Structure 1
Amino acid sequence: MTRIIEPVSRGVGTRHRIIAEASQLIAERGYRETTMKAVGERVGVTEPAVYRHFESKAQLLVTVFTEAVAQSPLSRHDARGAVETLPESAALLTAADFHMLRRLIGEMYSAAAIDPDVAALARNFVTGAAERLKQGLADSIAHGELPAGMNPLYMQSFIHIFMAGLAHHEALAGDLVGDPGWALFVANAVRHLLRMDEGDRSGE
């Protein structure tokens, strides 16, 4: 399975090695089946040593997720503008080599639904991303780049739910993973959504 957080040598800090190995384990086994002991064994340290860097498995999962997003092309696209890069980012999530990132996104949302600790830690990341997108949409509306009647909260919520759905791509439409025509369709669908005609604005 292709890694999204690159493996690091033993000369690199233990914390970075823990994140790299935990990302692999969570993607392979899932959050529930990944233990702090197993992570330590992969890294070559004891379970207490893992806890010295991360006070809980929940904190480790959220760190793994945020690091995976930061190291992915999604962060480079977002840096150019949250609204402008949405079509490209959505298309990227259909790519075959994004399997691990999709799995980690799915694991974080699934764990947040059943683990209050994950939910609390994940809230800051998700809330921050949602607020940046909502503000970007509001700014684009104010500058006449998006329809004046668009509701930025509704649109931001729809986009995030849609992107979260792509995390389950293998289960929902596995045959389309890696299909360039599908990637183009997804990108164009998001472009159309963001540039709806006056008479086709269901996101108001």
Structure 2
Amino acid sequence: MVSLEPFNSPVKVRLLPRPYHIRAAARDQFSFNGRTITHHPRVLSASTMRPTTVQEKQERFFAASHFAVIGVSHDRSRPASKVLGWYRDQNMDVIPVHPREKRLDGLHAIPSISKLPSPSTTALTISTAPYVTLSLLKQAHALSISSIWIQPGAADKHVVDYIQANNLSERVIWGGPCILQEGDHIIQRRWFDETYEGQSF
């Protein structure tokens, strides 16, 4: 709690916790005499902005309207198949991508990410061999896919070099945990932030 005294009148100002949700990431909220005041900081240039954290990239990923998974097969023990099942359990709009299969896990499949109905609002999960991942990244970059999560084991030095050389670090998650490890926690956090955004505790 910080006390300020403008015009010789004590005023209590309390900084509320900044929500994690991506929609609230660029603003601070203050409780001022019982009113909530939102401060919008000036936009910084790309050269002066701090790097996006992994948590912020995860929040952006799950803020997408649609999801797609590459690496799925009829073998439900495969990591990508488990990820697809997790999306279904969350009632998310998800589509599997497979070059030959027409349906996977009861869902209509598409042969390529070029067939995605809305690439710019789709978050892509990749669980493939690194050389395939590199090819997919190039396609995803050309399609302006909004966010990409590369699962453990699907990236190598060539993949990382491509991400960094093409300024994709802001929207690609790699080198970290699997969605199956982080997903539930992120979804719960987003629900809490959306439900109680702007409220004081």
What TM-score do the two structures reach when normalised by structure 2? 0.24
**Which has more helix, going by share of residues?**
1
- Structure (1 or 2) with the larger CA radius of gyration: 2
**Which has more strand, going by share of residues?**
2
What TM-score do the two structures reach when normalised by structure 1? 0.24
RCO higher in 1 or 2 (8 Å CA, sep ≥ 6)? 1
